[in-house]
């Protein structure tokens, strides 16, 4: 009994002295990366390949990024290193405007990026920043309880103050489902995995002059655990 007590005391002291904290570091914000309305006519900057649709579910739930508190986890480190909060929407976005989401294990690993096309034709550029536990999904795809494939990872404070979304009396954004937001409405029609190579057909227009995307630098993202 005495030995057990000593070991427990040592563990407690180690945690205290190591400065461990369950709090989440705040990440930077941005106002110039994501233009939600532009998703209606989204141009794919990078080459991509068909990945397959494991479920066409229209349900699109959300979670707050601050619920990811394990500082040593791949997802925590990825978010801190690569994502910013879009102040206008509360979405987490990377340097290229890909929106942070939680996906099941069917869709690769943390850092993988996808173009998800909805039946409306709207393309959602997303990056996997969190993984839904296999025990909570059907085949590593849709969530067992609500059927969602896409779960946006957001800052709920910014999202709740956004002029774009509805808020209910209990604090839920879009009644807990972004499918209630007109632009994101509809089932999943296609999923493409994004490659590092730039799309040779993409052209940027700046001050009435066209600039081929091949002149830009590729930002390579880490992928895997």
- Is residue 215 classed exposed, middle or buried when 0-12, 13-18 and 19+ CB atoms within 10 A define those classes? exposed
Arithmetic mean of pLDDT over the chain: 85
The confidence band for 203, taking pLDDT boundaries of 50, 70 and 90, is confident
Residue 144's alpha-carbon distances to 89, 140, 194, in angstroms, are: 27, 10, 27
What's the Cα-to-Cα distance from 126 to each of 17, 72, 107, 172, 202, rounded to whole Å? 39, 23, 11, 22, 18
Q: How do the domains of the chain map onto residue ranges?
A: 44-215
Task: Kindly give, in sequence order, each residue whose CB lies less than 8 Å from that of residue 40, ignoring residues fewer than 6 positions away.
Answer: 122, 183
Would you say 162 and 168 are in contact if contact means Cβ atoms under 8 Å apart?
A: no
168 is written with which tokens? 């209910």
Is 206 in contact with 215 (CB distance < 8 Å)? no
Structure tokens of 6?
Answer: 């000593």
Report the predicted TM-score, pTM, of the whole model to 2 decimal places. 0.81
What are 92-148's pLDDT values in tens digits? 999 999 999 999 999 999 999 999 999 999 999 999 999 999 999 999 999 999 999
Express each pLDDT in 39-68 by its tens digit. Answer: 999 999 999 999 999 999 999 999 999 999
- Quickly tell me which residue has 């296609």 as its tokens: 190
Phi/psi-derived region of residue 97, left when phi > 0, alpha when psi is between -120 and 50, beta in every other case = left
* Phi (first) and psi of residue 160, to 5 degrees: -70, -25
């Amino acid at each position: 009994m005495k030995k057990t007590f000593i070991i427990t005391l040592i563990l407690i002291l180690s945690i205290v002295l190591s400065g461990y904290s369950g709090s989440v570091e705040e990440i930077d914000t941005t106002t110039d990366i994501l233009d939600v309305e532009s998703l209606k006519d989204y141009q794919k900057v990078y080459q991509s390949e068909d990945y397959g649709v494991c479920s066409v579910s229209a349900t699109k739930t959300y979670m707050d990024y601050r619920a990811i508190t394990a500082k040593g986890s791949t997802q925590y480190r990825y978010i801190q290193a690569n994502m910013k909060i879009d102040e206008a929407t509360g979405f987490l976005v990377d340097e290229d405007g890909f929106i942070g989401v939680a996906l099941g294990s069917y869709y690769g690993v943390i850092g993988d990026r996808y173009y998800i096309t909805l039946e409306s034709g709207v393309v959602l550029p997303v990056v996997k920043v969190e993984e839904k536990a296999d025990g909570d999904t059907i085949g590593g795809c849709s969530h067992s309880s609500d059927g969602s494939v896409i779960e946006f990872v957001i800052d709920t404070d910014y999202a709740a103050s956004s002029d774009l979304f509805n808020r209910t009396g209990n604090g839920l954004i879009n009644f807990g489902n972004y499918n209630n937001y007109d632009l994101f409405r509809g089932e999943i029609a296609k999923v493409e995995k994004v490659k590092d190579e730039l799309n040779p057909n993409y052209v940027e227009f700046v001050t009435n002059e066209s600039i081929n995307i091949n002149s830009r630098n590729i930002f390579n993202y880490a992928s895997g655990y």
